[in-house]
Amino acid sequence: MKIVVAIKQAPSRDSQLKVNASGSWIDDADLAWEINEPDAYALEAGLQLKEKLTGEVVVLCAGPERAGQTIREALAKGADRAIHIETEKYGPADPLVLARMMARALEAEKPDLVLTGLQSDDLGYGQTGVILAEVMGLPHATIIMNIEPSGGGIKVKRELEDGWFQHVEMPLPALLTIQSGATKLRYATLMGIKKAKTREVRRVAAAELGGAGEASIRLERIYTPEKTKQSQIFDGPAKEAAAKLVEKLRFEARAI
């Protein structure tokens, strides 16, 4: 079985984030970087399937040169080879543009299964995986907790709300987005780190895949939320005041 795992390099969760001078994105000059956590779980799911069924795990990552560090980490954990879509700086923020580039990069691979994290820790759109499935013409399922072989296909466990789960049988090829915390993550061994240095990393320039293309969305500005204090007194009988408070919390503060 050929399993492709899409990963992304994201700022470390311990990083101190600052908005850049133009207000268009964070200042990434002095940030520490790591594999996007949901993608780490997708990688683990792919490696576990490989151990059950044999085959290979191919890592797919779009990002600038520094993303090579995250790719090597994935190879050290057990991935067999990698495809690096080389982009400028942070890479495309539009999930549709990114999905189209990834689909073109995978045309020659013809994977049996494509795995992605549920969403990215930085942008958090949760859209790249499902858009990639549409572009590639693959059936897909989201929020996956477990994958098991089933005949010529797979059986997956999806997490729903309020502690409910859904079990679905799917044909292959397919695409799945993996939920964080679905399993325990492995560490790279010393032997794995040594092997990673010799494993194949195929580099493809974004321009060869059609470039960034025309973005369907654009980030205008990011900013730190302003902290303000405001008090409001509800007059009248206690029952009426409580009803007004509930209305404010529900429709304005959206806290309930």
- How far apart, in Å, are the Cα atoms of 119 and each of 37, 141, 147, 183? 9, 14, 18, 17
> CB-based contacts of 72: which residues, under 8 Å, 6+ apart?
196, 197
How far is 232 from 251, CA to CA, in rounded Å? 15
Structure confidence at residue 42 (pLDDT)? 97
- How far apart, in Å, are the Cα atoms of 213 and each of 91, 92, 94, 97? 12, 9, 10, 6
Output the tens digit of pLDDT for each of the chain's 256 residues. Answer: 999 999 999 998 888 888 888 888 888 878 889 999 999 999 999 999 999 999 999 999 999 999 999 999 999 999 999 999 999 876 667 899 999 999 999 999 999 999 999 999 888 889 999 999 999 999 999 999 999 999 889 999 999 988 899 999 999 999 999 999 888 999 999 999 999 999 999 999 988 887 655 777 888 888 887 777 778 888 889 988 899 888 888 888 777 8
Structure confidence at residue 173 (pLDDT)? 97
> CB-based contacts of 73: which residues, under 8 Å, 6+ apart?
35, 188, 196
Peptide bond into 171 cis (omega under 30): no
Structure confidence at residue 211 (pLDDT)? 63
How far is 91 from 138, CA to CA, in rounded Å? 24
Q: Which residues pair with 23 in a beta bridge?
A: none
Q: Which fold has domain 2-209?
A: Rossmann fold (3.40.50)
> Which one-letter DSSP state was computed for residue 19?
B
Domain boundaries defined on the chain: 2-209
Structure confidence at residue 4 (pLDDT)? 98
Structure confidence at residue 13 (pLDDT)? 84
Axis-axis angle for helices 128-136, 95-105 (nearest 10):
50
The token duo for 11 is 């700022």
Structure confidence at residue 140 (pLDDT)? 97
The continuous run of DSSP H or E covering 191 comes out as helix 190-196
Strands 56-63 and 81-86: parallel
Structure confidence at residue 231 (pLDDT)? 82
How far is 164 from 119, CA to CA, in rounded Å? 21
Span between the terminal Cα atoms of the chain, in Å: 46
> CB-based contacts of 93: which residues, under 8 Å, 6+ apart?
123, 215, 217, 219
